[in-house]
Structure 1
Amino acid sequence: MKFEDIFIKSSTPIFSEIKSTSNLVKPNFDNFIEKVKQSYENKNFKQGKQVLDFENKLSKIHGTNECIAFCNGLWGMVLTIQALCLPHKTEVIMPTMTYRRLADITAWLNLTPHFCDIDPKGLGATVATVESCINSDTGLLLIAQPIVKVCDMHAFERLGKKYSIPVLFDSVEAGVGTLKNKKIGSFGAAECFSMHASKLINGFEAGYITTNDTQLAEKLRELRCNGLNNNNAIISNGLNTELNEVHAAMGLIGLAELGPQIERNKARYYLYKQLLKTLPSVTLVEYDEQEARGYKNILIKLEDNWPLSRQETLTLMHQDNILARPYYWPVLHTKETDYPTISGNIIHANNVSEQYILMPSGEFLSLEDIHKVVHYLKIIHYNSQEIKERL
């Protein structure tokens, strides 16, 4: 693969199929069908034995007392914010660099998103950036995990206790990890996880909440059947967000195959780590290998001396079916919305948001593909002047 062959002679992409950042693990089909047959024979495709079994297994994995499964992570998050936010309070503090729908979710509940800055090294909110936003209207601290890194969850628990404000962790990207050997899923008032096909556990589309608060768990089980009970909320009562047996069956098979999947993820990560050491101006964001991690995502930083902008780099990659994507971009405080928002003192997020790229990963990316992707970046680096002229 040479510069001339890619950027001058070639009219076809390097990859015939798109190489994306999604996990896209397909659990064993025969085992999945066998699970579905059990629900069919029990004449129950609504919430039943599979869902209960799934919730129990997830509770053990996360080291928590309760697990409440939902049709997807988004609705689990909506209802948990509804359940946790302090009465008569109007603001939810969250990092500006996170999942693009968190602010929308908050606004649906007639609450105001209050964006805080992030740490340029940890890539997530810190106690300092969150505490600077706390005021008399704060009803909830919604702490979203960065990708690859894990925030200081112990410190946020202490912050919540200091101000008597509940802490909800959006741990969708943290997966089945640990922090100082305590299992992620057992922190704060509750934690939210997704089982979209792009995530570590594929439930087609599903999600769940973990908590050690039995009363909160009971409230969430009621809400997932009956919808929101707040007349001021935009979403009406009667919404059913239960997980069904088919999705639970898919998740159960995924759990059974989780260990081998993580090993495959680690192999891809270690190869990226090895190859990127020889690429100037690009730094791999590394996992904490002393802790349990899912190794699902590959995140790189374009250093200041990388010759192209991030957008130029992505444009080139996309032309060759390397579907890398910008890391949490645009930052939420810069987006136009039809609902009110509040921004704290945002210093680092704007600059950081232009530096990071999520690289192809997941089951449709072979080790050979990784060699090609990194070599592609090397060609860009060493031929940047001519590429700039062509751009």
Structure 2
Amino acid sequence: MSTPHGTGTAMSDPLDLIDFATLLTEEEREIQATVARFLADRVRPHLPEWFDNAHFARELAPELGALGLLGMHLEGYGCAGTNAVSYGLACLELEAADSGLRSFVSVQGSLSMYSIHRWGSEKQKQEWLPGLAAGTAIGCFGLTEPDFGSNPAGMRTRAVRDGSDWILDGTKTWITNGGIADVATVWANTEDGVRGFLVPRGTPGFTTRDIGRKLSLRASVTSELHLDGVRLPAEARLPGAKGLRGPLSCLNEARFGILFGAVGAGRDSLQAALRYADSRVQFDRPISGFQLTQRKFADMALALGNSALLAVHLGRLKDGGRLRPEQVSVGKLNNVREALAIARECRTVLGANGISLEHSPIRHANNLESVLTYEGTSEIHTLVVGQALTGRAARDAADVRPTS
């Protein structure tokens, strides 16, 4: 760690400023370091090219599975069974590389796998979870529709009984992993309320279309799911999920990973700007020695440190079984908002060079524009926090309130 005065060397990790590592157990630090080493060797050298070419490296899935990262916070069925903080730290490192990679892991573990683990039958768990944990199978989570994002209660996808079978019709959009998934958890309205169904790839009537021309999350697969008279047997329904509590509980799991992941994106952006400012000379000295640049760094380091402390605190609450949904909203709202502001400010430190993919802040900023919106927009999380503070539901807030 660098000393505060006189060395002329940028701090390699801005979280050293608050001794972040001392908040973690030895096992948690080792998990974080293992993920960071894997990413440094296997992923980081390729990220500019993958982002530029809108490429997701599917071959990474079994490698991530071998590391135990897929559904790592779940118990049994080949899952690692780590604590929540360890899962959060893995998400931090994954998003420090790229939000698209963290999104893949989040959707695989906290949406696809969690929906099966929490709401599925034992047969469904045995059939799907080991392969998903190993990365030999890929899952996705179909909730959002073209006209219903923040208001999932209005979904138009329908499932109707036909004898002992179910017939599904509808469209889902902005589905991460959709075009490469072997199984989709699809939520649909039924005469008995919202229910979840497992739809394997190749089921007649089930097709996908990847969404192109994205300026964000380019190193990630985002797709539409189309269900046209999809016939499923009765055992395809998730038996434990009834009503919106099912999908919203899964979203809460994903939001937890996001609030850690955002810290990683902010940290990586600040690290890039610190390195650049230490080597970029203007007016015969490094720009890191100018007052306005140092003020930017100080403000960003404070925001990043506060976000990291909040993330670990919420992780400890989750491990203790005491984390409330509105607290997840606090973490997601604050940490993503701060990370986006940090990435944008770091881009200004890099000047014109900051728009090049040779440097990570502009890529993080573009990605975080999506992260700010998905798994609940900042407006929705603001309403959740507002209701928790006042005890009053603002207009439509009751329809979107997360559940445990």
Task: Report which structure shows greater RCO (CA 8 Å, sep ≥6).
Answer: 1
The answer to which structure has the higher helix fraction is 2
- TM-score scaled to structure 1, two decimals? 0.26
- TM-score (structure 2 length as normaliser): 0.25
